[in-house]
Amino acid sequence: MRFAAYTHHDQPRLAVVDDEGVLYPVPGVRSLTEAVAAGDGLPALLGTGAAALAGPPGPHVSEVRLLPPLQPASVRDFVTFEEHVEGVRRSVDGAAGVPEQWYRAPVFYFTNPHAIHGPHDDIPVPPGSAVLDFELEVGAVVGREGRDLAPGQARDHIIGYTVFNDWSARDLQSAEMKVGLGPCKGKDTATTLGPYLVTADELEPYRDADGFLRLGLTAEVNGEVVGRDLLSNMSWTFEEMTAYASRGTRVVPGDVLGSGTCGNGGCLAELWGRRGERTPPPLGPGDTVSLTVEGIGTLTNTVVPGPDPVPLPAGRRRARERP
């Protein structure tokens, strides 16, 4: 099933989307966030969807404003594509190859769950940035709480998938990473999710013999294709990523786990690193990015001007007095 969050006549709603794009509102449930928070997993969500399909149809998806499928409890963004690491590392850090440490575990960082945008929302340029980039990913959504999961157990905790665009201010990111802590304002302004949450059972026919989802991925900027890849080029499965995320802690309903950016043009920085020049150029106001994942759908967002940064002083060099 495909679930859509939307507003219609200024009211937030949740619906199942049929193959023709007709919305079937879910009775008594206002959002997927609310439905997933119950923590009853995929069978309960499918039951909720079946009840919706048994009821009267609502508007067509073209007649409503789509919202992000859910408001995440948290967002972990992984980096699971070798090709992306190679290209971006060369572009951002000036280094070649893939660090050996990368192969030891599916590393991630936490990004901002309060900056989630819908599949057709305008995206503001981050304050102070002149080098904006997109990143084409797939997000897995957790539907049941778990801790210290094995990969085989983790499959039952993934409720569905959505398209994920990790908007990145590369100039801010590059400067911040020199501190050695990780990305900060370079990743803080926007993440796009949507257009739907596709339940995990829908994508099982795409699973290959090694457990990866073989989905085609396409990135376009202003109508021109700049990247194509397969999701199955990941080096870890979503089940392995979920297991790692739960190690020594909990994953909870509504957590989103990003696949990391695909290769072969899944972002501009990878292309810049391989080509030795910023071609295509960084994104700016008026540019439109469309990201498509086979079996899930398309995000189409236009970049708009953002606010100027509020001035702050530089850090003080203190005398380091002691009590």
What per-residue confidence (pLDDT) applies to 300? 98
What per-residue confidence (pLDDT) applies to 88? 84
For the whole model, what pTM was predicted?
A: 0.97
CA-to-CA distance for 30 and 36, rounded, in angstroms? Answer: 11
CA-to-CA distance for 82 and 275, rounded, in angstroms? Answer: 17
6 and 133 belong to one structural domain: no
Residue 318 included in any domain: no
131-163 pLDDT per residue, tens: 999 999 999 999 999 999 999 999 999 999 999
141 and 244 belong to one structural domain: yes
Supply the DSSP symbol for 232: G
44 and 120 belong to one structural domain: no
Residue 79 near residue 102 (C-beta atoms within 8 A): yes
289 and 142 belong to one structural domain: yes
CA-to-CA distance for 299 and 172, rounded, in angstroms? Answer: 24
- What is the CATH number for 199? 3.90.850.10
Strands 216-221 and 168-169: unpaired
**What residue type is 311 in one-letter code?**
P
Burial-class residue 24 by CB neighbours within 10 Å (0-12, 13-18, 19+).
Answer: buried
245-251: long-range pairs with CB below 8 Å, 24+: 245/76, 245/108, 246/146, 246/147, 246/148, 246/149, 246/154, 247/148, 248/148, 249/147, 250/145, 250/146, 250/147, 251/142, 251/145, 251/146, 251/147, 251/149, 251/157
Residue 22 included in any domain: yes
What per-residue confidence (pLDDT) applies to 9? 87
Residue 92 near residue 175 (C-beta atoms within 8 A): no
Hunting for tokens 């803080």 — which residue is that?
A: 188
CA-to-CA distance for 149 and 127, rounded, in angstroms? Answer: 39
Give the model's confidence band at 209: pLDDT under 50 very low, under 70 low, under 90 confident, else very high: very high
Q: Which residue among 34, 66, 98 closes a domain?
A: 66
31 and 133 belong to one structural domain: no
Give the residue from 210, 196, 98 showing the smallest Cα distance to 139.
196
Show the domain range for 242.
74-304
Q: What are phi and psi of 206, to 5 degrees?
A: -90, -5
209 and 109 belong to one structural domain: yes
75-94 pLDDT per residue, tens: 999 999 999 999 888 877 77
User: What is the distance in angstroms between the CA of the first residue and the CA of the last residue of the chain?
Assistant: 63
Count of domains forming the chain: 2
57 and 83 belong to one structural domain: no
What does the pLDDT average to over 166-195? 94
Which helix or strand (DSSP H or E) is residue 65 part of?
A: strand 65-66
48 and 107 belong to one structural domain: no
Residue 81 included in any domain: yes
Give the model's confidence band at 288: pLDDT under 50 very low, under 70 low, under 90 confident, else very high: very high
Instruction: Please confirm whether the linkage preceding 281 is cis (ω < 30° from 0).
Output: no
Averaged confidence pLDDT in the chain: 96
What does the pLDDT average to over 200-221? 98
Q: Which residue among 46, 66, 86 closes a domain?
A: 66
**What residue type is 303 in one-letter code?**
V
157 and 298 belong to one structural domain: yes
- Range of lowest pLDDT (87-91, 203-207, 278-282): 87-91
* Contact residues for 20 (Cβ-Cβ < 8 A; gap 6+): 60
217 and 274 belong to one structural domain: yes
Give the residue from 90, 123, 126 showing the smallest Cα distance to 271.
90
39 and 90 belong to one structural domain: no
**What residue type is 86 in one-letter code?**
E
Residue 224 included in any domain: yes
What does the pLDDT average to over 240-249? 98
Give the model's confidence band at 127: pLDDT under 50 very low, under 70 low, under 90 confident, else very high: very high
